[in-house]
Amino acid sequence: MSQTTLIGGLHSVQAALRYDPSRVREVWLDSRRRDGRHQKLRRQLEALECPVHVSHPRALDEKLPDFNHQGVIVAWQGRPPLDEGDLAQHLDGLSHEPLILVLDQVQDPHNLGACLRSADAAGVDAVITPRDRAAGLTPVVHRVAAGAAEAVPLYQVTNLVRCLRDLRDRGIWLFGLADTGAIGLHDSDLGGAVAVVMGAEGTGLRRLTREHCDALVAIPMAGRVESLNVSVATGVVLFEAVRQRSALS
């Protein structure tokens, strides 16, 4: 079944409207906000066939506590959760060599949102995460992803190692990012059917995940910092893949 998620913030709600306004099920607006941006967004939301509540800001704070909703919240009817079966069907239907992003237990919703945004910009065909011990599609993820949370297919799998084996059986090469990787990123071959495998914040790739990768690659680091944030590193690796794949086309 599909899920209803509360999305707050001007950019996130505007991105949701651009993607598919029919998914908005209910709206809450801050009665005290009168600036031009809010008024324009309010007119768009009031034109939808759904309940619109103009409320005191405290009511919005109660809907999304500890969240900067910027005076606007919508109830968003998201896609049904996607799993291994959906992933197989999706890959079967592709007419090109896939570019896949695998996130091994990324738990910070800010990082997941940023990874989804980079994945969308890079033309990634699928993002895969484990079902457990990983961030889901929270309001924070939607805000940071700025529309990419709906645009990029996100698959939550029960057993990540088994999923990696299935990808290898399809002829998809698995490149894991690791500080100790034997291959520099710019020396790796990311031009074909590829899955980029990124580890969790701080701990990196788990042992079994690392062992199921075909190669471990490292981002060259010129300064004193030893590693990059997972979302930044994801963007670096994905756009190196884009560069290589563009050179082959």
Q: pLDDT digits over 137-196, tens only?
A: 888 888 888 888 888 999 999 999 999 999 999 999 999 999 887 789 999 999 999 999
Kindly state whether residues 66 and 27 are assigned to the same domain: yes
pLDDT given for residue 249 in this prediction: 67
Strand-strand pairing, 72-77 and 24-30: antiparallel
Q: Order of strands, edge to edge, in the sheet holding 194-198?
A: 154-157, 126-130, 99-103, 194-198, 173-177, 215-218, 183-184
- 228 labeled binding residue: yes
Task: Please count the other Cβ atoms lying within 10 Å of the Cβ belonging to residue 59.
Answer: 15
pLDDT given for residue 235 in this prediction: 96
Domain around 175: 84-248
Kindly state whether residues 8 and 95 are assigned to the same domain: no
Kindly state whether residues 236 and 119 are assigned to the same domain: yes
Task: Please state the φ and ψ torsions of residue 18, each to the nearest 5 degrees.
Answer: -65, -35
Kindly state whether residues 46 and 101 are assigned to the same domain: no
- 17: tokens are 């409207």
The rounded radius of gyration (Å) of the Cα atoms in the chain is 20
pLDDT given for residue 18 in this prediction: 86
pLDDT given for residue 125 in this prediction: 97
Place of tokens 């999923």: 163
Domain end marker among 26, 57, 77: 77
Question: Which H helix or E strand runs over 139?
Answer: helix 139-145
Kindly state whether residues 72 and 165 are assigned to the same domain: no
- 219 labeled binding residue: yes
pLDDT given for residue 85 in this prediction: 94
Question: Which H helix or E strand runs over 77?
Answer: strand 72-77
Residue 39 burial by CB count (10 A; 0-12/13-18/19+): exposed, middle or buried?
exposed
What residues of the chain score a pLDDT lower than 70?
1-2, 249
Whether residue 58 contacts residue 82, with contact meaning beta carbons closer than 8 Å, is answered with: no
Kindly state whether residues 64 and 129 are assigned to the same domain: no
CATH number at residue 69: 3.30.1330.30
Domain end marker among 48, 77, 106: 77
Q: How remote is the C-alpha of 197 from its chain's centroid?
A: 14
Spatial separation of the C-alpha atoms in residues 129 and 115, rounded to whole Å: 12
Domain end marker among 37, 61, 77: 77
Spatial separation of the C-alpha atoms in residues 6 and 59, rounded to whole Å: 14
Number of domains in the chain: 2
Kindly state whether residues 20 and 107 are assigned to the same domain: no
The structure's pTM equals 0.86
CATH number at residue 137: 3.40.1280.10
pLDDT given for residue 197 in this prediction: 98
Kindly state whether residues 212 and 233 are assigned to the same domain: yes
Kindly state whether residues 107 and 33 are assigned to the same domain: no
Kindly state whether residues 48 and 161 are assigned to the same domain: no
Spatial separation of the C-alpha atoms in residues 83 and 141, rounded to whole Å: 19
- 82 labeled binding residue: no
Kindly state whether residues 35 and 70 are assigned to the same domain: yes
Q: Who's near 75: CB < 8 A, 6+ residues apart?
A: 4, 5, 6, 24, 25, 26, 27
Spatial separation of the C-alpha atoms in residues 173 and 214, rounded to whole Å: 6
Kindly state whether residues 68 and 127 are assigned to the same domain: no
